Amino acid sequence: MHDVSMTIVRRHLRAAKIKCRKPAKKILLTALHKEERMRFARKFIDFDWCNNIVIFSDEKCFKSDKDGRKILCRKNGERYHHKNILPCRSSGRITLGYWGWMSSMGPGELVEVGRGSQYQSRLLGHQELRYLS
């Protein structure tokens, strides 16, 4: 191992225009996930979203990361290069599920729902979705 001071290392990184930053985080997508997203996009490319109600679902995850803050060194403009992205692998999380809707007239209501098989029955029976009738 070489005995090099941090000052020299930082000077050389700065000369190479490499800065240390927090890595970008993205959900880790498999080839199948990407293919399914492209299939969906192609299927609905000409869909008229303005005259239709759109129902959506989403989750919010609250995570506690035992590994602490992560830093990487990269050049400007390379934030989203594959090698600079930290894939999200969750553990120690709390997940909340939501159903909601919107239309061309604006947003509808947002309903918190439980997890698992109760999603559909809770959505279909929930009074907030009476506006869809």
Q: State the burial class of residue 97 (Cβ atoms within 10 Å of its Cβ: 0-12, 13-18, 19+).
A: middle
Structure tokens at 26: 């993205």
- What confidence score (pLDDT) does residue 35 get? 94
- What confidence score (pLDDT) does residue 68 get? 61
Residue extents of the structural domains in the chain: 17-132
Could you tell me whether strands 85-88 and 24-27 are parallel, antiparallel, or unpaired per DSSP bridges?
Answer: parallel
Structure tokens at 41: 């996009």
- What confidence score (pLDDT) does residue 130 get? 46
Angle 24-8-10 from CA coordinates, rounded to 5°:
20
- What confidence score (pLDDT) does residue 128 get? 43
Q: For residue 100, what are the β-bridge partners?
A: 56, 110
pLDDT along the chain (133 residues), means of 10: 84 88 80 92 85 65 59 84 75 66 76 60 48 43
